[in-house]
Amino acid sequence: MAARRAGGLSIRGRLLLGSAGVILLFGGLVLAGLYRAMLGLFMEELVRRGYAIADTLLEPSQNLLLTEDSFALQQVLQSSLSRHHDVRYAFVADAEGRVVSHTFMGGFPKGLDRAVLLDPGEASRSRPVRTEEGLIYDVGVPLQGLGSIHVGMRSAEVARRVVRDTMGWGSTAAGALMLGAVVIWWLTGRLAARLKDLVGAAEEVGAGRLDAVVQDRGEDEVGRLARAFNAMTRDLKEYQARALRAGKLAAIGELASCVAHEINNPLNTMGVCAQALLERASSPELRASAEFSDFPEYLKTIDSEVSRCKRITSELLLFGHPREPRLEPVDLNELVSESLGLLEHRLRGAEAAVETVLAPGLPRLHADSDQLKQVLLNLVGNALDHIRPGGQVRIATAKHGRELALSVTDDGPGIPPEHRDKVFDLFFTTKKAGAGSGLGLAICQRIVDSHGGRIAVESRPGRGAVFTVSLPIR
């Protein structure tokens, strides 16, 4: 049950628990180390103080031992005991180890002399002695062959002082811990809120709402994750739109192919009949008829319209059953030059100026050269249809990261905002009746999609239009 509850903790709760655990463990170790270090230092200071007190008693104790004035010796020891609150006892032993004088009111403790007395010839030293009152450090100093003097230093007061100081440090550390906990709570709150936004957006995407956006401008890992998430949703939305468009175009293309196939045969028959009638129109008898005057014009109109219908059905068949791209290395700049050669006659007729801005040193594309030429011819033809005599068309190539861009810009009237999202729809056209089938840009988009690229349009009314084809470098 406990494991299940821990597993259900939020990231904020886990961060707080983990941080608090680390801080408490680290703080406990630091305080324990600080306590041991301070205790050691204070005990060393206590022993040094014991040596200093023993040194002050050294000379009078030697003199009184020589005169065997034990009463005066006891007075000296008692006076030192009363002056120093941390001295528990003091006693003097002669060279044979007999205690000559001491400050114990109830008699000299049994066994203390054996525990602490210096051996003959031994130098000064301190030794801890455990008593009912706690740990006492016995400091022994030799009296130049006359015996030794011993001072017992209480450690309880030192230990209390160390504990008091450590508690002070602990209180400071606890305050710092609380402040750190508040800061961590605030930081994790911000992090949790940002992650909550990400989770909410992910749930929206999971529910099919691909327009979900995470508003996070941070430069840290969460900010980068949010930007990556937004880029992913944009790509998903684009892929979904492509899939829907491809499905719709496939269905329309299949229908268009069937319609074109069914219409093509009657059109062929009509065309043959029109040609036959035109040939018969050269007969002198028919020319002599009063009703003949409009006959050739009608036949030419029929022949022209049949040709236009056959061209439309050919485009429908091409759209309905597009061939797979035959991929080969393609130099985009060379492709532009070759396409302009094919457009030379139309450019002269349109009285248009064409400017090319070709980026040097472009890498080759892995693409179908004929299909890309068709795209460029359609885009330039579309531009020529919309500019005035003497207008200008600019064709440019460039490299952007791992993509090559081909753009066609015209200075025509531009595209109204309400038409901008429809220009690639099948059969959509703004040209006058009979001037366009609405297939050219749809075919361009289908070819570009089959190459894994993108085609986009930018336009403002009265400022012309820019069609840009972006193709991946492979």
The third-level CATH classification (topology) of the domain covering 325-474 is: Heat Shock Protein 90 (3.30.565)
Residue 88 dihedral angles phi and psi, to the nearest 5°: -85, -40
| CA angle at 333 for the pair 330 and 336, rounded to the nearest 5° | 95
Every domain of the chain with CATH number 1.10.287 lies at 210-321
Are 364 and 403 in contact by the 8 Å Cβ rule? The answer is: no
**Calpha distance 374→439 (Å, rounded):** 12
Kindly tell me the burial class for residue 38, based on how many C-beta atoms sit within 10 Å of its own C-beta (0-12, 13-18, 19 or more): middle
Tens digit of each residue's pLDDT, the chain (474 residues): 444 444 566 666 777 777 777 777 877 787 777 777 777 777 788 788 888 888 888 888 888 878 778 788 888 888 888 888 888 888 888 888 888 888 888 788 887 777 778 777 788 888 888 877 778 888 888 888 788 888 888 887 777 777 777 777 777 777 777 787 777 777 777 777 777 777 777 777 777 777 777 776 667 777 777 778 777 887 777 777 666 666 666 656 565 665 655 566 666 777 676 676 666 666 666 666 655 666 667 667 777 767 767 666 666 666 655 667 889 999 999 999 998 888 877 777 667 788 899 999 999 999 999 899 989 988 998 888 888 887 889 999 999 999 999 999 998 888 888 888 788 876 667 655 444 556 778 888 888 988 989 999 998 888 889 999 999 987
**Region 9-161: CATH code:** 3.30.450.20
Exposure string for 303-337, b = 16+ CB within 10 A, e = fewer = beebeebbebbebbbbbbebeebeeeebebbebbe
Tell me the pTM: 0.44
Architecture of the domain whose range is 210-321: Orthogonal Bundle (1.10)
Q: Which part of the chain is CATH 3.30.450.20?
A: 9-161
Q: Where in the chain is the domain with CATH 3.30.565.10?
A: 325-474
Contact 393, 407 (CB under 8 A): no
